[in-house]
Amino acid sequence: MSGLQFPDDFLWGVATASYQVEGATTEDGRGVSIWDTFSHTPGKTLHGQTGDVACDQYHRYEEDVALMRDLGLGAYRFSIAWPRIFPQGKGQRNPAGFDYYHRLIDKLLAAGIQPMVTLYHWDLPQALQDEGGWPARQTAEYFADYAAECFGELGDKVKFWITLNEPACAAYLGYETGLHAPGIQDMPQAYRAVHHLNLAHGLAVQAYRDTGQNGEIGIAPNPSAVRPATRREEDVLAADRARDKWARMFLGPIFSKGYPQRHLDAYPDCPLPIEDGDMEIIARKIDFLGLNMYTEEAAGHDESHPEKYKILPNYHPKTEMDWSITPLGIYRLLKWIDKQYDHPTIYVTENGCAMADTLSPDGRCHDADRIDFLKNYLRSCAEAITDGVDLRGYTLWSFIDNFEWSLGYSKRFGIVYCDYVNQRRVPKDSFYYYRDVIAGNERFD
């Protein structure tokens, strides 16, 4: 295989998440999520923006699926909003919630597009946060009940399930830095959340196996991609340690390697609430690992940091998120995972970039910088496959510009431009580039 061509059955997709695109947050019996509460709290998001309307995909999914059909997609990765199914997170189920996902999935299947369904993309029912949220063990159990309900209702139509999206963000941004919902700043709580998210994942995998269904189930973490700033031994060790918090705290237990002890030792005040049997549950075999990857950073030794590393400035050009554009980083991360965790099947479940997109006088969006980004990252993916990584697919983030969490609508990640004034969809140049990639199963120069 060359750096251009992908395997015949490579799965090409695009990705979104419920709170970022759906809107309709008060319709058809949907309950309140922590992101509704957080975004409606003054000062938490840019300009106080919320996901109340977002891209209105709840009402415009037919138009969106038609665009996806034009793209020639094999898969659409989207998430189910837990509070649409269980407005209180548990107990009384809301049938109207499933109706929407049935309609969406039926449209996708009719267009020849496989649904790839994420069960948790950060919109925890507020009622469960009120009972303690992820730092509380029962949230993991409620998640497993909700997951089982989804398998029962949709399992005959859905072949790809993802338990959690970026659990590291849910734990550390939600409960340590407070930059994301529920906006708590308490490090011990964040580490309790880590373990309960992992447990929730394992319980959901178990629930899926119990159904006897024959689809595939995995998880989509965002392990840090880090390279040593120099070849000095201390920097090599620093870069390795920089992978503990965001990579090994999740991948370790999932792949039966446990939690990284040196990381736990660095934070003795943040014990993990592990109970007997938990580690076996978390290590239930997954069918694939999803990988969300955007950027790689350089780390060097820092004696003053509890984990003895710091992230250093680098020379790479940056996206609008201020994330370095590092296509080689995805190659290195794929290879690292392949080696560390014994050659798992991988899907890149998120990759893409926010750029300063505008509509030109000709009515189009000429996002040449995004096309460059994609070409280079896809080259790295193709090379990783050539070099033995079992990479089976790629779902680009994102199908359409959407609500970028605390940054509101200021960051455009889509290959479709969303005009938020009137909800008009305008395919960007990268849409047509990606359409050609999919059609030819190769990345074009």
Residue nearer to ligand NOJ on the CB measure, 153 or 394: 394
350 catalytically annotated: yes
Residue nearer to ligand NOJ on the CB measure, 169 or 437: 169
Minimal distance, residue 397 CB to ligand NOJ, in Å: 5
Residue nearer to ligand NOJ on the CB measure, 54 or 229: 54
Minimal distance, residue 235 CB to ligand NOJ, in Å: 27
Which entry of 176, 296, 350, 404 is annotated as an active-site residue? 350
Minimal distance, residue 290 CB to ligand NOJ, in Å: 10
Cα 265–Cα 266–Cα 268 angle in degrees, nearest 5: 65
Minimal distance, residue 349 CB to ligand NOJ, in Å: 8
Residue nearer to ligand NOJ on the CB measure, 12 or 413: 413
Minimal distance, residue 171 CB to ligand NOJ, in Å: 14
Minimal distance, residue 13 CB to ligand NOJ, in Å: 14
Minimal distance, residue 406 CB to ligand NOJ, in Å: 10
Residue nearer to ligand NOJ on the CB measure, 25 or 88: 25
Binding site for ligand NOJ (CB under 6 A): 17, 20, 165-166, 292, 350, 397, 404, 413
158: left (phi over 0), alpha (psi -120 to 50) or beta: beta
Residue nearer to ligand NOJ on the CB measure, 166 or 176: 166
Minimal distance, residue 174 CB to ligand NOJ, in Å: 13
Residue nearer to ligand NOJ on the CB measure, 17 or 298: 17
153 catalytically annotated: no
Residues whose CB falls within 8 Å of the CB of residue 399, separated by 6 or more in sequence, listed in order: 14, 15, 16, 21, 64, 67, 68, 76, 414, 415, 416
Phi, psi of 9 (to 5 degrees): -95, 20
Which entry of 22, 153, 166, 442 is annotated as an active-site residue? 166
SS (H, E, C) the chain: CCCCECCCCCEEEEECCHHHHCCCCCCCCCCCEHHHHHHCCCCCCHHHCCCCCCCCHHHHHHHHHHHHHHHCCCEEEEECCHHHHCCCCCCCCCHHHHHHHHHHHHHHHHCCCEEEEEEECCCCEHHHHHCCCCCCHHHHHHHHHHHHHHHHHHCCCCCEEEEEECHHHHHHHHHCCCCCCCCCCCHHHHHHHHHHHHHHHHHHHHHHHHHCCCCEEEEECCCCEEEECCCCHHHHHHHHHCCHHHHHHHHHHHCCCCCCHHHHHHCCCCCCCCCCCHHHHHCCCCCEEEEECCCEEEEEECCCCCCCEEEECCCCCECCCCCECCHHHHHHHHHHHHHHCCCCEEEEEECCCCECCCCCCCCCCCCHHHHHHHHHHHHHHHHHHHCCCEEEEEEEECCECCCCHHHCCCCECCCEEEECCCCEEEECHHHHHHHHHHHHCECCC
Q: Measure the CA–CA gap between 254 and 295, rounded to whole angstroms.
A: 23
Question: Nearest Cα to 282, choosing from 191, 169, 197?
Answer: 197
Peptide bond into 398 cis (omega under 30): yes
Minimal distance, residue 36 CB to ligand NOJ, in Å: 16
Residue nearer to ligand NOJ on the CB measure, 300 or 329: 329
Residue nearer to ligand NOJ on the CB measure, 11 or 179: 179
Q: Could you list the active site residues? A: 166, 350
